[in-house]
């Protein structure tokens, strides 16, 4: 639009596009009063920012962009304020069992075990090797492999109890612990 007095520019743009803007807004808002309110808000934005409106080559596009943005804001606000049906069940967020949260403490404690114990735990309990396969890989009898794995598990449990203050419930399940940060890598 040619450079003119900002208020005259706003007035001219508004007169040229008001009806078209109203149709655009009314097509998206079923409530006529709400559509009028939004149209007035577009006009107020134009009055507050005459240089922005009159400084563009296409004031119509500017007005429609403001209307579009206001509609989006209104829809977001309505979506945030949707009432919940009281008959809907409350969303249940499953609680993570303490034994699963204990995984944060495990790397540190494993790092504190002897290499043979770490290897037995890693291969049998983490990687899923059977004790028979572990025995073959280590060149041990099955009985010796089972003993090694059981001793490694006992030492791991003792370290977890000591280092992470793990406590067990009456059924022997982990009930709680104090997490510890992992060991820092050695230089």
| pTM as predicted | 0.44
Local confidence band at 86 (pLDDT 50, 70, 90 cut-offs): low
Above pLDDT 70, what percent of the chain? 79
- The pLDDT tens digits for 89-124 are 555 555 666 666 666 677 778 888 999 999 999 899
| Mean pLDDT, range 49-69, rounded to an integer | 88
Note whether 74 and 118 are same-domain residues. Answer: no
pLDDT of res. 1? 46
Q: Which domain holds residue 43?
A: 6-80
Note whether 75 and 106 are same-domain residues. Answer: no
SS (H, E, C) the chain: CCCCCHHHHHHHHHHHHHHHHHHHHHCCCCCHHHHHHHHHHHHHHHHHCHHHHHCCCCHHHHHHHHHHHHHHHHHHHHHHCCCCCCCCCCCCCCCCCHHHHHHHCHHHHHHHCCHHHHHHHHHHHHCCCCHHHHHHHHCCCHHHHHHHHHHHHHHHHHHHHHHHCCEECCCCCEEECCCCCCCCCCC
Note whether 110 and 72 are same-domain residues. Answer: no
- pLDDT(127) > 90: no
- pLDDT(38) > 60: yes
Q: What's the CATH number where 26 sits?
A: 1.10.1740.10
- The pLDDT tens digits for 150-174 are 999 999 888 877 777 777 778 777 7
Q: Is residue 140 part of a domain?
A: yes
pLDDT of res. 50? 86
What is the domain count for the chain? 2
Averaged confidence pLDDT in the chain = 82
Note whether 68 and 129 are same-domain residues. Answer: no
């Amino acid at each position: 639009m040619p450079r003119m007095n900002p208020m005259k520019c706003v007035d001219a743009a508004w007169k040229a596009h008001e009806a078209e803007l109203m149709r655009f807004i009314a097509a998206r808002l079923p409530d006529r009063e709400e559509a009028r309110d939004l149209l007035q808000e577009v006009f107020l934005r134009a009055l507050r920012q005459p240089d922005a409106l009159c400084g563009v080559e296409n004031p119509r596009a500017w007005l429609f962009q403001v209307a579009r943005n206001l509609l989006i804001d209104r829809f977001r606000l309505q979506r945030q304020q949707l009432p919940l049906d009281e008959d809907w069940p409350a969303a249940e967020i499953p609680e993570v069992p303490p034994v699963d949260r204990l995984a944060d403490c495990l790397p540190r404690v494993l790092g504190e075990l002897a290499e043979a114990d770490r290897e037995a735990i890693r291969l049998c309990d983490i990687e899923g090797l059977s004790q028979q396969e572990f025995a073959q890989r280590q060149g041990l009898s099955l009985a010796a492999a089972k003993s090694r794995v059981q001793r490694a598990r006992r030492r791991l449990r003792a370290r977890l109890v000591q280092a992470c203050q793990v406590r067990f419930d009456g059924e022997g399940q982990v009930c709680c612990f104090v997490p510890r940060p992992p060991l820092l890598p050695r230089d």
